[in-house]
């Protein structure tokens, strides 16, 4: 789509304005205002209001596009193009007054991701990109790291929070990377983790039991920044978030093979 750069500029502006609203609420938010969606899974009025704003404004940019949204304020998966939205990724961080937290907006057509914007509200960093247009951070082009060995990696992950069936495997994976890399970080926002892989702050990322709104924008950013994103088995198409591995193209093969082996070993 030749208009993708124009669309991305409009989405950036919407994300920034919505981020200002979220930031303004952070100082007066009471943790008692949050509601429990499921085990360790929370939603606040801030999430819902932010999503409503984004849906309303994104519909003006592309009236023909449908939506996949975390809080379910709009849903139309029958449309050819879809906005995939997480209005506040890192809600638990936000609730406790901790950075980072972010807005993640992806645009896809079928299995093809066309554009992605991740606004890290807590640090005022705007990550964005579009298909064949590169990945950018605050108007500067970004690329994945050049780490070439597992021992040179700083790895990001997210702790399981509702599906514990693979917890023992996950902990074994965590143990391996703690012992054999520069270290492991857990930020509390998968969108931020992926954005940080795209700009080279992290060399790799793995997590399971995520959702499309957590990963769609980040996938686009990493691929446009020269990296690879797949499931644990190396499949790159149709990623739902059930399994996600991301790394630069140099170390990816070694990284994904370790994740796949450990996460699929019977415990």
**β-strand 135-137 against 154-157: which pairing, if any?**
unpaired
Q: Kindly report, residue by residue over 87-103, the tens digit of the pLDDT.
A: 999 988 988 889 999 99
Give the chain's domains with CATH numbers. Answer: 4-141 (3.30.540.10), 150-263 (3.40.190.80)
**pLDDT recorded at residue 58:** 96
pTM assigned to the model: 0.93
236-251 pLDDT per residue, tens: 999 999 999 999 999 9
Task: Provide the percentage of residues in the chain whose pLDDT is more than 70.
Answer: 90
Rg (CA), the chain: 17
- DSSP per residue over 201-224, as a string? S-SEEEEES--HHHHHHHHHHHHH
So what's the pLDDT on residue 41? Answer: 44
- In angstroms, what CA-CA distances link 224 with 27, 76, 103, 111, 114? 35, 27, 19, 16, 11
């Amino acid at each position: 789509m030749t208009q993708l750069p124009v669309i991305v500029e409009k989405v950036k502006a919407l994300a920034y304005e919505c981020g200002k609203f979220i930031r303004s609420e952070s100082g007066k938010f009471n943790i008692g205002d949050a509601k429990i969606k499921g085990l360790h899974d929370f939603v606040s009025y801030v999430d819902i209001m932010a999503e409503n704003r984004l849906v309303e404004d994104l519909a003006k940019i592309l009236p023909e596009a449908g939506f996949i949204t975390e809080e379910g304020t709009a849903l139309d998966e029958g449309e050819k193009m879809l906005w995939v939205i997480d209005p506040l990724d890192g809600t638990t961080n936000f609730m406790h007054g901790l950075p980072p937290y972010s807005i993640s907006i992806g645009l896809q057509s079928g299995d093809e991701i066309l554009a992605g914007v991740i606004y890290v509200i807590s640090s005022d960093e705007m990550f964005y990109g579009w298909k064949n247009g590169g990945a950018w951070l605050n108007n500067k082009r970004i690329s994945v790291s050049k780490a070439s060995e597992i021992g040179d990696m700083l790895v990001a992950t997210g702790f399981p929070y509702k599906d514990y069936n693979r917890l023992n495997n996950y902990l074994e994976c965590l143990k391996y990377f703690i012992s054999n890399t520069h270290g492991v970080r857990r930020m509390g926002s998968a969108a931020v983790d992926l954005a940080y892989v795209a700009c080279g702050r992290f060399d790799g990322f793995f997590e399971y039991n995520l959702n499309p709104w957590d990963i769609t924008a980040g996938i686009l950013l990493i691929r446009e920044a020269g990296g690879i994103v797949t499931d644990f088995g190396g499949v790159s198409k149709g990623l739902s978030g059930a399994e996600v591995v991301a790394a630069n193209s140099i170390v990816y093969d070694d990284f994904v093979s370790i994740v796949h082996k450990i996460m699929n070993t019977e415990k």
